[in-house]
Amino acid sequence: MVKKKVTIKDVAHHSGVSIATVSQILNGNEDKFSSKTVEKVLAAKNELGYQADYFARQMITKETKTIGVLVPDITNPFFNLLMRGIEEILYQQHFVTILCNADSNQQKEVQYLSELTRRGVDGFIIASSAISTQAIKEDLQQQGRPFIVLDQKKAEDFSDSVRTDDFRGGYLAGTHLFSLRHQQVALVYPENPPANVQERIEGFKSAADAYQIDYNQLLLIPTAFSKQGGYQITNQIVASEATAIFALNDELAFGLYRGLEELGKKIPDDYSIIGYDNVDMSEYVKPKLTTIAQPIFELGQEAAKLLLERIQHPEKKQEEKLLPVHLEKRFSTAPLK
């Protein structure tokens, strides 16, 4: 026999107050009533096992308490940690996160954006560069939907954003390798690099300028932004005169580790490698990976906080937060012999 659903009317009758009072208290407006009244309503709710009707609540509050997050590649541990940071803040505020993994596919991202909009999510965190600025403006900005662009997607003065200091990160990577007397350096980066990766490359070139290194001595190698991408271009590096490698994310570095080992090369004896991100695996490969550390978890936290502020204050001035990076020196780099 199906048990009858407990309604807000039942809670009101059980606690001896009006339906309006129960509605106000259960929707977070407890400060409008005495502690005794609040206590009675919450006790009745728990005793009866009342659960709010999600769709009825949405019609009243015009909120879904859901946030859509678009990422390009959930298999990359960077985005796992990023999501943990986002989810921690949203969970504290009773929001549910809807994760959409777009596989760096622009069409897929546009479809996700449209579907999430149709479902009425309260805001968006866009952590991918594939989706066009035009699509964001048409689907979100024109409809007044709160959103924030994160890290890979350049804000271009149309939204709040949180990013890390990629130029500084590239500069630190270059300074580290050049200080070890490496001049022939291979830069391994994704094809059609997003804005944040371009900033890392520019930072590295700035370090080259500081050490009076000719750009012609830098070997630029585009590949897939993954372990497989790093693995696939190992032969190209071994055939070059490079003595050091700047992998524009740690995943590329891990692929290079495997490829170089299979070719009988040792790190850092034959090649110094520096990565970017400082994901957990950096400390578990051998030798431990020297890398540029991003505050990934904090990046997710700040993105969630900024989006919640935008939802609460839609007319506030656009804001950009820049988080610092630092060199995490381990054992994959060494002075050139």
Q: pLDDT tens digits for 190-241?
A: 988 888 999 999 999 999 999 999 998 999 999 999 999 999 999 999 999 9
Cα separation, 179 vs 192, whole angstroms = 29
Q: Say what the pLDDT of residue 192 is.
A: 85
Query: The pTM is what?
Result: 0.81
Alpha-carbon span 39 to 231, nearest angstrom = 62
Q: Tell me, what's the pLDDT at 249?
A: 96
**What average pLDDT does this structure show over 7-18?**
88
Residue 176 has pLDDT above 90, yes or no: yes
* Pairing assessment for the beta strands 185-190 and 160-164 based on DSSP bridges: unpaired
CB proximity list for 277: less than 8 A, separation 6 or greater: 78, 249, 250, 251, 291, 292, 293, 294, 296
User: And the tokens for 273?
Assistant: 């490698």
3-state secondary structure of 273: strand
Task: Supply the pLDDT for residue 198.
Answer: 94
- Mapping DSSP to helix (H, G, I), strand (E, B) and coil, where does residue 5 land? coil
Least confident of 69-83, 111-125, 216-230, 292-306: 111-125
Q: Is the pLDDT of residue 51 over 90?
A: no
Q: Give residue 134's pLDDT.
A: 64
Which of 113-117, 258-262, 306-310, 331-335 is predicted least confidently?
113-117
Supply the pLDDT for residue 108: 85
Q: Quick one: pLDDT at residue 77?
A: 93
Distance separating alpha carbons of residues 261 and 150, to the nearest angstrom: 35
Share of the chain above pLDDT 70, in %: 89
Which position has the higher pLDDT, 145 or 240?
A: 240
CA distance 331 to 187: 19
193 C-beta neighbours (distance < 10 Å), count: 17
Average of per-residue pLDDT values in the chain: 88
Three-class secondary structure of residue 194 per DSSP: coil
Categorize the per-residue pLDDT at 337 as very low, low, confident or very high, splitting at 50, 70 and 90: confident
Q: Residue 149 — very low, low, confident or very high, per pLDDT cuts 50/70/90?
A: confident
Please report, as a single letter, which amino acid is at residue 241.
Answer: E
If 0-12 CB within 10 Å is exposed, 13-18 middle and 19+ buried, where does residue 170 land?
buried
Class of residue 73 by CB neighbours under 10 A (exposed 0-12, middle 13-18, buried 19+): middle
Distance in angstroms (rounded) separating the CA atoms of residues 223 and 158: 30
Q: Residue 131: its pLDDT value, please? A: 66
What pLDDT is recorded for position 153? Answer: 53
Q: What is the per-residue pLDDT for 53?
A: 60
Closest CA to 147 of 131, 162, 125: 125
- pLDDT, residue 274, reads 98
For residue range 229-282, list pLDDT tens digits in order. Answer: 999 999 999 999 999 999 999 999 999 999 999 999 999 999 999 999 999 999
Across residues 38-60, what is the average pLDDT?
A: 74
Is pLDDT above 70 for 135?
no
Helix H or strand E segment including 268: none
